[in-house]
Amino acid sequence: MTLEDYANFSNYAIASATAVLALAWLASVAQWAFGSKAVRAKNTIPVAEPALVGAGASWTSGASADTGDSDGALAEERSDLSGRISLSLTILALGILLAGVVTRGLAAERVPWGNMYEFAMTGISVVLVGYLVMVFWMKIDWLAPLVLGFSVVMLGLSMTVYVPAGPLVPALDSYWLVIHVAAAIIAGAGFLIGAGASILYLVKSRAEAAPGGPKGYLSRLPRAAAMDQLAYRVTAFSFPVWTFAALISGPIWAEHAWGRPWGWDPKEVWAFITWVAYAGYLHARATAGWKGRAAAILALVAFTTFLFSFVGVNLFFPGLHSYAK
C-alpha cells in the first residue's frame, strides 16, 4: 500500500470506529434503561421486598404482579443482551480504531500523535483499551454510558480539526514527542475514567442518601464508596504519569526546543493548573469536610481543566503548543 492508501484506510477506519462506538454507546444506554425497567418491575411485587419499594412506587395487586414479574424477566433479559452487545461492539470499535491509528502512523511515517486530530484518536484508543482491561478485571462496565459517550463525542469532534497525514513541523520532530505526548495521553485516559467514576459516584451517593435509597438501575451499580475508590485509584495512577508528562518530560523537551524548561506558555499554564487541581483532589480526599462529594466535584473540575488544556488552549490561545492544525 502507498502512503496515500494508508491515509485513506485510516480515515475510513476512524469514521467507522466512531459509528460502531456510537452503537455500542446506544446499547449501553439500552442496558441501563432495560435494567431500570427490570428493577421497577421487581419492586412492584408486594411480596418481594417491601423495604426496597421507594416512596414513589405504588403498590399493585397480586394479579398485576405476575405481569410485572414476566415484564421484569423480559426487561432483565434485554438488559443483559444490550450489555453484551455493547461490550462486543466496543471491542469491535476498538479493533477498527486501532487499525485506523496504526495506518495513520504508517501514512505519516511517525507516531500517530503529532496534532490534535491524532491526539484524540490515539487518546480514545488508550481510553478504550484501559476501559476494557478494567471491565474484564474489575467489572467496571457500569461506566459504559459515560466512557463510551465521551469517546464518541471526542472522536466526532476531532474530525473538525482533521489534518491530512504528513510529516511533522521541525519543532515537533523529536523523540520527546513519543515520550511526552504518550505520557500525556495515558494520564488523560486515566483522568477520563476517573472522572466518569466521580460523576456516577456523585449520582449514586445522592441516591443513597435519599429516603428509600437508590432506585432503578442505580440500585444495581456498585456502592458509591466503591465508585469513589475506583475514581481515586485511577487518578492515583494517572497523577504521577501526568507529573512525568507535564513537569519532567515537558520541561526537558522545552529546554531542547525553546531554550527554557518552563516559560508559562498557555499550554504549560493549563498543564500546571491541571496538576495543581488534581493535587488538590488527592489532598481533599484526606481532609475532613472535603472527603466524598466535595472531593469528587474537585476531581471533575480538575478533569475540566485537563480538557481545556487539550481543546481550549489548542484552539483559542496562540502559543508554542498550537498544534491543532
Partner 1 sequence: MADKIRGPKGSGAAPALSTVSTLRWAWRQLTSMRTALFLLLLLALAAVPGSIVPQRSVDPRAVAAYFERHPDLAPVLDKLGAFHVYTSVWFSAIYLLLMASLVGCIIPRVGVYARALRARPPKAPRNLSRLPASTSYETTADVEKVLADAAKSLGMARKDTVTETDDSGTVVAGEVRAERGYLRELGNLVFHISLVVVLVGVASMSLLGYRGNAIVAEGGGYSNTLTQFDEFTAGGLFDTDDLPPFSMTLDDFDARFELDGPQRGAPRSFVARGTVTDKPGDEPRPYELKVNHPLRVDGASVYLVGQGYAPVVRVTDGDGRVVFEDAVPFLPADATYTSNGVVKVPDARPTQLGFQGFFLPTAVATGEEEIPGSAHPAAANPLLGLFAYYGDLGLDDGEAQSVYVLDKDELTQFMGDDGKPLRLMLTPGESVSLPDGKGSIEFVELRQFARFQFSAQPGVMVPLWGVSVGAIGLVLSLMIRPRRTWVRARRREDGTTVVEVAALDRVPRSDVEQSVDDLAGRLKDRTGHTGSGYDTASEPASSPVAVATEDVHTKAAASEDEA
Pattern 294-323, partner 1, x by CB under 8 A: ----x------x-------x---xxx----
Closest CA to 115 of 270, 261, 314: 314
Helix (H) or strand (E) holding 32: helix 3-43
Q: Which is nearer to partner 1, 111 or 153 (CB)?
A: 111
- The answer to whether 14 touches 120, Cβ cutoff 8 Å, is no
Q: Which is nearer to partner 1, 73 or 133 (CB)?
A: 133
- The minimum distance between CB 277 and partner 1, in angstroms, equals 5
Sole binder of partner 1 in the list 54, 95, 156, 166 (CB under 8 A): 166
Determine if 142 is a binding residue for partner 1 (CB under 8 A). Answer: no
Q: Which is nearer to partner 1, 59 or 262 (CB)?
A: 262
Sole binder of partner 1 in the list 243, 293, 297, 311 (CB under 8 A): 243
Say how far apart CA 149 and CA 144 lie, in whole Å: 8
Say how far apart CA 100 and CA 106 lie, in whole Å: 10
Determine if 179 is a binding residue for partner 1 (CB under 8 A). Answer: no
Helix (H) or strand (E) holding 272: helix 266-284
Determine if 134 is a binding residue for partner 1 (CB under 8 A). Answer: no
Determine if 244 is a binding residue for partner 1 (CB under 8 A). Answer: yes
As separate numbers, helices (DSSP H) first and strands (DSSP E) second, the chain gives: 11, 0
Cα dihedral value 274, 278, 283, 289, nearest 10? 90
Q: Which is nearer to partner 1, 96 or 197 (CB)?
A: 197
Say how far apart CA 116 and CA 122 lie, in whole Å: 10
Closest CA to 101 of 168, 173, 23, 158: 158
Closest CA to 124 of 189, 30, 37, 27: 189
Residue 292 phi/psi, 5° resolution? 80, -125
Determine if 229 is a binding residue for partner 1 (CB under 8 A). Answer: yes
Sole binder of partner 1 in the list 47, 51, 63, 286 (CB under 8 A): 286
- The answer to whether 75 touches 34, Cβ cutoff 8 Å, is yes
Determine if 158 is a binding residue for partner 1 (CB under 8 A). Answer: no
Which of the ranges 15-23, 153-161, 194-202, 271-279 carries the binding residues for partner 1, by CB under 8 A?
Answer: 271-279
Q: Going by C-beta distance under 8 Å and a sequence separation of 6 or more, which residues neighbour residue 99? A: 9, 13
Which of the ranges 14-22, 28-36, 122-130, 246-254 carries the binding residues for partner 1, by CB under 8 A?
Answer: 246-254
Task: Count Cβ atoms below 10 Å from residue 310 Cβ, excluding itself.
Answer: 22
Say how far apart CA 10 and CA 202 lie, in whole Å: 38
- The minimum distance between CB 102 and partner 1, in angstroms, equals 21
Which of the ranges 65-73, 128-136, 211-219, 233-241 carries the binding residues for partner 1, by CB under 8 A?
Answer: 233-241
- Sequence letter at residue 19: A
Determine if 223 is a binding residue for partner 1 (CB under 8 A). Answer: no
Sole binder of partner 1 in the list 60, 174, 304, 322 (CB under 8 A): 174
Which of the ranges 83-91, 98-106, 122-130, 279-287 carries the binding residues for partner 1, by CB under 8 A?
Answer: 279-287
- The minimum distance between CB 232 and partner 1, in angstroms, equals 8
What does the block give as the cell for 126? 488508550
Number of residues that bind partner 1 (CB under 8 A): 59
Say how far apart CA 236 and CA 218 lie, in whole Å: 26
Which residues of this protein are in contact with partner 1, per CB under 8 A? 163-164, 166-167, 169-171, 173-174, 176, 226, 229, 232, 236-237, 239-240, 243-244, 247-248, 251-253, 255-266, 269-270, 272-273, 276-277, 279-280, 282-290, 298, 305, 313, 317-319
